[in-house]
Every structure is written in structure tokens, then in C-alpha cells.
Structure 1
Amino acid sequence: MQDGLSAFVARTVLIEAATVSLDLQYYIYEDDSAGRILMSLLLKAADRGVRVRLLVDDLGTRVVNPLVLTLDEHPLIEIRIFNPVEGRSGLRRALEQAANLGRINHRMHNKLLVADGLVMITGGRNIADGYFSRSDVEFLDVDVMALGGVLPDAEQIFDDYWNNPVSVPVTELSLDNLEDQSLDDLRRKVKAFLEDEAKSEFTDALRQSQMAGEILAGAIPFQWGRGTLFADPPEKALHRDRIPVEKFPGYQLEKVIRNSSANLRISAAYFIPGNIGTTLFTGLQQRGVNVDILTNSLSSNDVAIVHGAYARYRKKLLRKGVDLWELRKASGEKRRKRWFQGESRATLHAKTFVVDDSLGFVGSINLDSRSLLQNTEIGLLMENESINQELSAFFEDWVAGDSAWHLSLNAQGKIRWRARDGDGKALVETKDPETTVWQRWLSWILSWLPVESQI
């Protein structure tokens, strides 16, 4: 699922069609239109007898709304928080994060929805308006819906996280439910909210989508093949050094990549290959594998320090023949960098891998040390030529001349960025395109900080 509104529709249909259980695991679950619509549908599902379990990461989601406690009072709804900070806001939270950095630094970046133990959705999208709607910015992402033999693995992975001590019931957090609202009060609010949202972009998408009917009618054209679900064990958040590296999805994915023989196409919102990754990709290229990599440009990246770290490896990759593309900034988009944290959203959020002619991978894994070493991640490896071709078509669309800059080295070894405008006219830039002197200077300064293992 490449289109954001279709990805939203798929989630709503699975929630509305569930009869037994719904398990959701997300890094970010925003209290916005998309989040509230889905939460309203989860409440309605619980009212008809469906068991609902929601696990969110505390740093990504920041549960502060006391209405969550009311929701958790439902006998069939339970909400847990992964690796929480005791303080909910303000100075106390900041101090605790600083004092417990070794623990707090490990976040749950997973994205997973499992309905009735029969169907799952995983990929790059969190639950928030920006991941499903294109009204604000072209937000490129991919999810995959799966069923069959991989579902028991998905259920087991969720249970492992849910039952781990690092996942804390929301009732144990310091939330003061001063509004003293009952579930019936909440139901009335939900009803009024859904009525207000009747003409929203999300509700229109659900009403007009063919996918909704196709899912319910069993008419979705699934592509059958071997599927393997990669996921970090939840213990990575507390005892990373005790876990064999073979259990990390990044290690498992690296083995797949090393075995590629013809083509490797990667899209990664954050790409910091380090010396090991640079050696891997240049070695594959020299072995005859065509290595193509798409990531964010400085203008489309929402975290300056990440781009600064990535930029150190561009020339090494280009010298050995690796093809690099950087996504162009959306037209008219205004961006302002902050020192260590993104204020605007990255244009590219997808994490996809296309390996040779039959393998495709969709998940939450970026190619940086934070994904590989610090956070927990998840993703699905699929052995199917049709899915491989579809992911490859996405990649080709994203790296088209009017969408991305193609990097190369000139005779003097300096980077040149090439693209085309809307009329097909060639564009050539000699420095990071669509950026200011301040942005380039900031990215360069931050690239010297010895924090690559943390970003």
C-alpha cells in the first residue's frame, strides 16, 4: 500500500470487520483526526465484544491525555506504554530522561496491526494525519498487508512485547483523570466526533474507496509467496548486549543483502551507512550488483544532524559506482532546521528493499545506527516476483528526474546534483540543492559530532 489514504482505509476496514481481537503496536499514535477516528472505531469494536490491546512507545507518543485512562477502563480494552518515562511533562520528564539515558535511549519503532490473528499490516507508517494524507506534503511511505503462515509469528511477536516487563499498563503512569468522565461520556463524545468527521478527507476516502469492499469481499489480489517476519526481541530495550546479534533484524537483512547477485534498490528516510555499510554496498557494486539507494536530501530531511552524518559517506559510495538519489523538496514547502530534532516532516519515510528479481522487504528499519542498534524494529521479507516488481516501480517513480536529485562526481571529484524541472529541462546544482548557507553550515558542523551511533 503506497497511497496514504488507502493505507488508512485498510486499517479502518480491518478494525470494523474484526470479531475476536485487535492488537496494535506503534511508535507514534497521535491525538489528531486519524488517531481519533481509529481510536473511536477501536472503542466501538470493544463494545461489540472484540478484545483490543494497544501498545505505544512513550517517547514517540507521549501519553498525557487523561481520557486514555477512561478508555482503559473498558473491560475489553487495555493500553500499555513501552519503556516509559515516569514524568509526563516539563522539567521532571527532562531530568529523568537525562538520568536514565541508557534505558530511555532505546525506543520501540515497530509498526504492526493484527486483526483476529488472520490479517496484519506492517511497514513505515505510524498513526497520525501526516502518514495518511497528502494535503500538506508529499509523504512517501509503504505498508504491506499480509495473511497466511506469517500471522502466527506476528501474534507471537506482539505477545512477546505485550508481556515483557518493559511494557507498562497505562494505569501505572502519573495521569490525573481530573475530568472524571465515564465510558458512557466517552461514547457520547465519540459519536459526536464521528458525526463532525463525516465530511473529512479520511471519512470521504473510506466512503469512496473500492478497497473497503474488496477487503470485505475477499477480492484483494494477494500475491502468494514465502514471507518471513523480522523483529527485534523486546529485551533489546534493556539488555541489548545480552542478545545474540543474529536475532537483530538488521543483521538478518544484511545477510539477505549480501546474497544479492544482480540488483539492490533501497529507499531509506535516514541513511547513515557507516564504514561497514559503505564497504558492504561498494563491495556489492564491484561484484557486479547494481546498487541504487534513495534517501532524503538536506532540503527534505527533517533532522540536520542525520544528513550531516550521511553526507560523510556520499563520495566514498559514488567513487565505487553506487547510484545515489536524494529526494527533492516539495514545491513551496517551508522548512526550518532545529539542532537535534525535526520540526518539519521528512518527505521520504519509506523503508523498502528490492533484492534481485524475487525478494522485497517493507518495514520500519532505517539504515542507521539508531535502527540497527538502539531501537526495536520490524519488517516483512517477501519472496514474490510481482511484489518485487511493484516495489521496484515505486522506486523508479520516486527517483524520476522531477522527484529526486541524481548524484555524481565530476572530473575534480566534486558532487553534482542533476534533476529535471516540470518542463523536462535539465537542472544541475553544485551544492546541496534548495538549501541556505545556514542549513549547509549547520549540517556540516553537526557532522563532526561523535554521535553517529546514536542517530
Structure 2
Amino acid sequence: MKASSKDARSLKPAERSRLARGVNKETEGRGEDQSGFYLVHDGLSAFVARAVMIEEATVSLDLKYYIYSDDASGRILTGMLLQAADRGVRVRLLVDDLGTRVTNPWVLAIDRHPNMEIRVFNPVEGRSGIRRGIEQVLDFGRINHRMHNKLLVCDGNVLITGGRNVADGYFSKAETEFLDVDMIAVGAVVPDASSIFDDYWNSEVAVPVTKLALVDDDTCTLDELRERVAVYLQGERESEFSRALEKSDLAEKLIAGDVPFQWGKGVLFADPPRKAIDRDSVPVSDYPGYKLEKTLKQCKQRLRITNAYLIPGVPGLDLFSTLQQNDVQVDILTNALATNDVAAVHGAYSRYRKPLLQAGVHLWELRPVAQQKQRLHWFKGKSRASLHAKTFVLDEDRGFVGSINLDSRSIIQNTEVGVLIENAEINRQLNRLFDEWTAPDTAWQLALDGDRIRWHWESEDGQKRVTECEPETRWWQRVLAKILSWLPIEEQI
């Protein structure tokens, strides 16, 4: 039988496992307020990091994700989670109901495992069809608040957080590849992450999957599921994911205490889960977006932002303008119309491009060809790039990695998580990544020519190019984005 609800708290961290001994080597002699950070930005490494955590776990695995897809990467990781539960690891998985449609009857078989439990954040009772749509309309005030967090905590010793969901596109295997950033951390921030997870897991907003209206498939027993998982994992042994995991030395480095963690103070920003059902009861000062804004205002030299969905609004525009007036250079990379997966977001963002440029902000938009060389090293065929990262380079000594987009939905409606890091080397790594992603062959740089915006880039033959039209888009995309820019829906996107 599963543990009772009164036991639904993080377990004591592992002490004798291979991973625990490696982490102890890393943390030995460090101050109690110190954390170690290791940045991961390419998709396959991000998949490997999660797989390694699951493989090495001996006590507990706590995961919460906005999107957890039933695709190759999702099935592999789910299979590994089942294997971890079979060897005695307690597994808790919390997913958002809007981002992750829990309809597969196999979910119930997984949840029957004595060491596994799945909960759904802020769910609609109806699982599919007309009933679900009607409930979403009638209860929009509640349904509009989503859990956008991404967090994995292994054995109470290591965490992974950042912008990535669990789906092939975030791990480099899809027609659209999402460029993103994760942070692996050990030390002082890990107990904080466990506490945050417990707050969500035990919240009234987190509903056990057994209470949802799933169709129970009695023919899919736990033993049958184990057999199917074993067959599936065997069939995936030659996949890019499995080969990357096999070639990776991350596990060995973690066990040996040889991961080049960068040490410093770290602070986790996280929305209280109650924000999703009673926002008025949560002080604005508790919002991660509010805390992040206060931190950005402290910049003295530079602020470099990589953000997938940029709708700064008047407050954001005022913030960046004030920083520019105080001799703080603000550089921003976001999606172009050609790489944005939400047309309404681009329409709202487009209204702010000219004011940002007039304020002195340097602005880039990602090109669809970004990251192709790295992708072709592992995967056949080309993909369309889309920016999904949410990172901040603050002056020369701090960095922020998380799930927070610079739009009203992230700041006001959703629950988010991120980590502020005081470390000069992490700052430099994020800065180098910003330079890489804003290179002329990877991003378009925007500039004003009189009263018109021009897009500057470099072609494959090294020639400098300029256009006054949204690059690599069709006329109907531009018209749609323009129409959407007129709609008063900024707070909902």
C-alpha cells in the first residue's frame, strides 16, 4: 500500500548511495549557505542528466512538469522511473493538467505501484471531448492558472531546474527543437527545492490521478506494464537518447565528485501553489516575477536576457528604459515570428519592439536555422529552432535560470520557479551562450532606420544582409500577427 497522506513529505536524503558519496565529496568543506551549479544547455545532455538522476536514485525521485509527453523521451524516462520504483525508490510525479493531458489508462497501472504516485495540478474533471471544453469555459477563472514549473529532485541530494519540459522537442529530437537551459545543483538549494515540491504535492490543487475520470483498463496490470516497458526500452537501445546516455560520463563524474560545479549562494524563487486558486491571498512580494524585477533593478553594468515570450508591458518597458538611462546596457534575445510557436504572443510583443529600440535596448530574434550543426551531429534531418530558454545575465557576477517568461501570464497567472545564482563563472557561461545564440548566423539583430525596423543577419556565404520585412515568413503570418496585436488579450498570453 502507498504511504498515507500524512507521510507525503520528502524523505531523508540518501547518505550511502554512490551518488550521495559523490555529492558529499563536492560539498565537503563548503559553507552551509553554499550551493554548486552546473549549467546544461544542449538538449541531449539535458536528457542524459535526467536519466542519470533516475538511474542513480536509491531513496526518492520528485518531479513536477508543465508538459510530460507520451513520446520517445517521455516513455524512456517513465520506463526508467518504473524501474527505479521496482528497486525501492519512492517516485512522486506532479504534472499540469493543461500542459499534460492525462488520459492514458496505463497511468492508472503506474499509479498502482506501491512506490509510485501521480498527481495532477488544477485539473478539469472531464478528461476529453465536449465535457472538458465546457468545464474549461465555465470555470475559466480557476483553469486559467497553470503550473509552469520544471523541477526534478533526486534523493534529496541533487536537483535539475530550468525551462525544459519532458518532450522530444526539448531534447533535440523533433521537427521543432526548443533551445533551452537547465541548471543542475547540489548543496544548500536542494532542501529548499524539496520543501517547495512538498508544498505543491500536498496542496489542495494537486489531485491524485485516481480521483480523475479516467477509464480504468483492467487488462493493463502492473506486471503487463513492466513487460511492455521492458520491450520498449529494449527497442530504444539504439536510439539517439540511449546512445547519448551510454556515451555520457556524467554519472561517473557525479559519483567521483568530478563535476565542475561552480559554487556560490543561490536562491530559489517559487510561486506558492495557492496562487493558482486564490491569487488575492498571495502577496505580490511572494511572486518570483516581483523578486526578479527587484533583482534586475540592482544591475549596474549590463543585463542580458534570453526569453521565449517577451511581452514587457508598460512596467517592463519603463524598467528597461530606466536601466538604459542609468548606463546599464540591456540586451534581449527572443523569438522571431518565424520561430515563435504562439502567434498571439508575437503579435503582442511586436508592439514593444520599436519603443525598446528607441530606449537603447539591443534586440535580437532567433532564426529557424539556429543550432543546426550541433543537431546534425546526433540526429538525421534538419529541424526548425524555437527559443524556449529563460535566462538572465546580471552584471559580471550573477545569473538566473528558470521557467519565468517576461509576460503577464508568467508573472501574474501561472506558478513559476527559478534560481538566482551568485557566481562569476556561471555568469560568464550564460554570457557566452547569449553571444552564441545572437551570432549573425543564428539570430537577426533589429535596428531602427528612421522610423522603420530593419532585420540584420549574415547569410551562409558570410554576406551581411538587411531586410525591412519579418524574415522567413509568409504574408498571411504577418497579417495574422498584426491582427492579433490589436486584441486586448495581453494579460492572458
- Shorter-chain TM-score category? over 0.9
Write the distance in 1 (CA, Å) between the matches of 2:88 and 2:173: 34
Does the 8 Å CA contact 1:417/1:431 hold for their aligned counterparts? yes
Q: Report how far residue 178 of structure 1 moved.
A: 2.5
The code of the aligned residue for 1:311 comes to S
Instruction: Select which of 190, 193, 198 maps to 2:237.
Output: 198
One-letter amino acid matched to 1:121 = I
| Residue of structure 2 in register with 1:304 after alignment | 343
Aligned partner of 1:5 in structure 2 is 44
1:209-358 to 2 correspondences below 5 Å = 209-330=248-369, 347-358=386-397
**Correspondence 1:41-440 to 2 at 5 A:** 41-134=80-173, 136-330=175-369, 347-411=386-450, 413-440=451-478
- Whether contact under 8 Å (2:60, 2:156) holds in the other structure is yes
Alpha-carbon distance between aligned partners in 1 of 2:305 and 2:260, rounded to the nearest angstrom: 25
1:73 offset after TM fit, Å?
A: 0.4
CA distance, structure 2, for counterparts of residue 346 and residue 85 of structure 1: 32
CA contact (8 A) 2:63 2:153 kept: yes
Structure 1 residue ranges, 4+ long, deviating more than 4 angstroms after superposition: none
Report the TM-score, using the length of structure 1 for normalisation. 0.96
Q: CA deviation at 1:269?
A: 0.4
Q: Aligned-pair distance for 1:410?
A: 0.8
2:28 maps to none
The whole-number CA distance in structure 1 between the counterparts of 2:126 and 2:149 is 23
1:15-35 Cα deviation digits (max 9, x unpaired): 111111100000000011111
User: Post-superposition shift, 1:135?
Assistant: 5.6
Partner of 2:59: 20
Q: Aligned Cα RMSD in Å?
A: 1.4
**1:420, 1:330 → 2: CA distance?**
12
**Aligned-residue offset at 1:138:** 4.2
Q: What SS class does the counterpart of residue 124 from structure 2 fall into? A: coil
Question: C-alpha displacement at 1:211, in angstroms?
Answer: 2.1
Structure 1 CA distance for aligned equivalents of residues 173 and 301 of structure 2: 34
TM-score, structure 2 normalization? 0.88
> 1:58-92 CA deviation, whole Å, 9 max, x = no partner?
00000000110010001110100000011111111
> Contact 2:169–2:177 at 8 Å: present in 1 too?
no
Partner SS for 1:417: strand
Contact 2:177 2:384 (8 Å CA) reproduced = no
How far does residue 313 in structure 1 lie from its aligned partner after superposition?
0.8
Report if the CA contact (8 A) 1:302-1:346 is conserved: no
Q: CA deviation at 1:139?
A: 2.6
Superposed displacement of residue 134, structure 1:
4.7
* 1:183 CA drift (Å): 1.1
Shift of 1:451: 0.7
Q: Secondary structure at the match of 1:61?
A: coil
Which shifted more, 45-54 or 344-353?
344-353
SS at match of 1:139: strand
Task: Give 1:49 deviation, angstroms.
Answer: 0.7
Query: 1:301 Cα deviation (Å)?
Result: 0.5
Gaps of at least 5 residues in structure 1 are: 334-343
The Cα offsets for residues 263-317 of structure 1, whole Å up to 9 and x where unpaired, read as 1000000000001100100110111001000000011101111001001011111
CA contact (8 A) 2:181 2:401 kept: yes
Corresponding residue number in structure 2 for 1:341: none
| Counterpart-to-counterpart distance in 1, 2:66 and 2:177 | 21
Number of matched residues?
444
Residue 320 (structure 1) shift: 1.4
CA distance in 1: counterparts of 2:348 and 2:221, whole angstroms: 50
Deviation at residue 177 of structure 1 after TM alignment = 1.8
- Return the letter of the residue paired with 1:105: N
Amino acid at match of 1:242: S
- 1:448 & 1:416 partners in 2: Cα distance? 22
Q: Give me the whole-angstrom Cα distance separating, in 2, the residues matched to 1:450 and 1:190.
A: 47
In 2, the alpha carbon distance for the partners of 1:359 and 1:173 equals 43
Question: How far has the Cα of 1:216 moved from its partner?
Answer: 2.8
Residue 136 of structure 1: how far off its partner (Å):
3.3
For residue 454 of structure 1, what is the amino acid of its counterpart? Q
The letter for the 1-side match of 2:365 is E
Q: Work out the CA distance in 1 between the residues paired with 2:251 and 2:42.
A: 14
Percent identical pairs in the alignment equals 62
Quote how far apart the aligned CAs of 1:113 are: 0.1
C-alpha contact (below 8 Å) 1:418/1:427 kept by paired residues: yes
User: What residue number does 2:481 align with?
Assistant: 443
Name the amino acid aligned to 2:484: L
Q: Is the 8 A contact 2:308 2:334 kept in 1?
A: yes
- Cα contact 2:176–2:385 (8 A) shared by 1: no
Measured in 2, the distance between the counterparts of 1:9 and 1:347 equals 21
In the alignment, the residues of structure 2 paired with residue 208 and residue 405 of structure 1 have an alpha-carbon distance, to the nearest angstrom, of 35
Contiguous gaps of at least 5 residues in structure 2: 1-39, 373-382
**Counterpart AA for 1:446:** L
Distance 1:171 1:236, change over 3 A: same
Q: CA deviation at 1:345?
A: 7.8
How far apart, in 2, do the equivalents of 1:179 and 1:434 lie?
50
* Contact 2:171-2:177 within 8 A present in 1 as well: no
The one-letter code of the counterpart of 2:42 is D
Equivalent residue for 2:378?
A: none
Query: Do the aligned partners of residues 66 and 134 (structure 1) sit closer, same or farther apart at CA in structure 2, a change above 3 Å counting?
Result: closer
**1:9, 1:212 within 8 Å by CA — same for their partners in 2?**
no
